[in-house]
Amino acid sequence: MVEQGNLEVVETAEERSYKLDRVTQFLREVRELAETHPLDELSRELNAIGEEIDTWKDTYEVESLTELRQSVSRDDFDSEGRRERLEIIDEWAYNIEMHEALQLAISLKNSLTTLGVKSPPEESSTKHPHRR
């Protein structure tokens, strides 16, 4: 699997181990989202992420994640303000990744439907698709 690019080798002083590469992990997550959540649920989560990002833009008076990152170095924040911004930066970056995954999952579901390919039965979960 290493030769195929599905695994990465991680070498330490004591051992050699293997882990899935980021692309393979991401694509597995997209497939899982498409197979385990109904289309309307994926769409709702996609909208929720957009609304959450819009709220952060308004709250922190920025237009992008990059601007929020740059704002952390300003001198007019105390340590709590910086810590809060750093937490939001992590959440925002995660939301961007999940936004992409949700868009691809929706596209995958639509393509499979168009092609007449049956996917496994959807298991609508009480867990939101993008929540950690």
Distance CA 125, CA 11 (A): 38
Cβ-Cβ contacts under 8 Å for 106 (sequence gap 6 or more) = 34, 39, 42, 43, 46
Mean pLDDT of 86-115: 95
Task: Quote the pTM value.
Answer: 0.74
Mean pLDDT of 5-10: 68
Q: Confirm if 33 and 102 have CB atoms less than 8 A apart.
A: yes
